[in-house]
Amino acid sequence: MGPQAGGGEQVTTSPLIELNGVSKYYGNVKALEGVSLEVRAGEITCVLGDNGAGKSTLIKIISGLHRHDGGSFALEGEETRLGSPREALDRGIATVYQDLAVVPLMPVWRNFFLGSELRKGHGPLRRLDVDAMRATTRGELLRMGIDLRDVDQPIGTLSGGERQCVAIARAIHFGAKVLVLDEPTAALGVKQSGVVLKYVAAARDAGLGVVLITHNPHHAYLVGDRFVLLKRGAMAGSHTKDGIALDELTRQMAGGSELEQLSHELARLDSGPAAG
């Protein structure tokens, strides 16, 4: 939300990310076509779709793995074409993938700082500042409401939900403006999914713009502010939370008119004569 201007007029800020009619082709294969969405600070934009809907391609474009072929991609109001994940990260876009890139046998604090280790001393005496990294990791996790027993424990001993939460806290600590989450609850049970969604909401409340990729409309509706539905690489719907109820979001996600047609066909089969 922007600040109030004189006379009570609301000043709006540019979206952190704005895609307009974005397309991506692999040879003759259409992976995405005409996809538009925006991500704003302090909001969660949910991208929903089944396997093959184009969610993975969209993530790759936002995170700098692939460049879009058509349409526009603006980052904080500036037209861009990200060339690499490093460039995306340098510009404030942190992506947490479903298969988390962690080193299971390393401590939590070591994974938290992996690739960005703190050091102390000079010249040949320069070494890792282990105490500072432990303290920072513990403090950042506590700030997110994550109370781990011991940041020295191997991260592989944490539950899937806890590992996701560590990744979210890490992104916030290292200054991400946009957090992209790839199916963070896909392999989790009900309780662990609830834990992860709590920290997804915490990232939004910390002022980040969040992109939540999911195939679960119930999870999306719990935390989402905007919803973009993809089907076969194209947009099947775009809604704000105050513009759609969960039942309708679920219906559209499940296939909408196609699902209704299937229901009618099944009902007609059920009402047919029994086999002799």
Q: Where are the domains of the chain?
A: 12-104+177-269
Better-scored residue on pLDDT, 139 or 274: 139
Burial class (CB in 10 A: 0-12, 13-18, 19+), 101: exposed
Mean pLDDT of 169-194: 91
Q: Distance from first CA to last CA of the chain, Å, rounded?
A: 67
* 10 has a pLDDT exceeding 80: no
The tens digit of pLDDT for each residue in 190-241 reads 888 998 999 999 999 999 999 999 999 999 999 999 999 999 999 999 999 9
Determine the Cα–Cα distance for residues 249 and 272; give it in Å rounded to an integer: 32
Residue 274 has pLDDT above 60, yes or no: no
Nearest to 233 by CA among 57, 19, 46, 26: 57
31 pLDDT tier (thresholds 50, 70, 90): very high
Query: Does 263 have pLDDT greater than 70?
Result: no
Neighbours of 125 (CB within 10 A): 7
Is residue 50's pLDDT more than 50? yes
If residue 139 lies in a helix (H) or strand (E), which one and from where to where?
A: helix 130-143
Q: Provide the pLDDT confidence category of residue 262 given band limits of 50, 70 and 90.
A: low
Q: For residue 19, count other CB atoms closer than 10 A to its CB.
A: 21
217: which 2 tokens?
A: 């409309």
CA distance 36 to 195: 30
On whether the CB atoms of residues 66 and 16 are closer than 8 A, the answer is no
Question: Which residues, in sequence order, are bridge partners of residue 72?
Answer: 20
Question: pLDDT class for 254, splitting at 50, 70, 90?
Answer: confident
**Average pLDDT for 153-164:** 89
CATH of domain 12-104+177-269: 3.40.50.300
**Secondary structure E strands in the chain:** 17-26, 29-39, 44-48, 70-75, 78-79, 93-96, 119-120, 127-128, 178-182, 209-214, 226-231, 234-240
Strand partners, 226: 45, 240
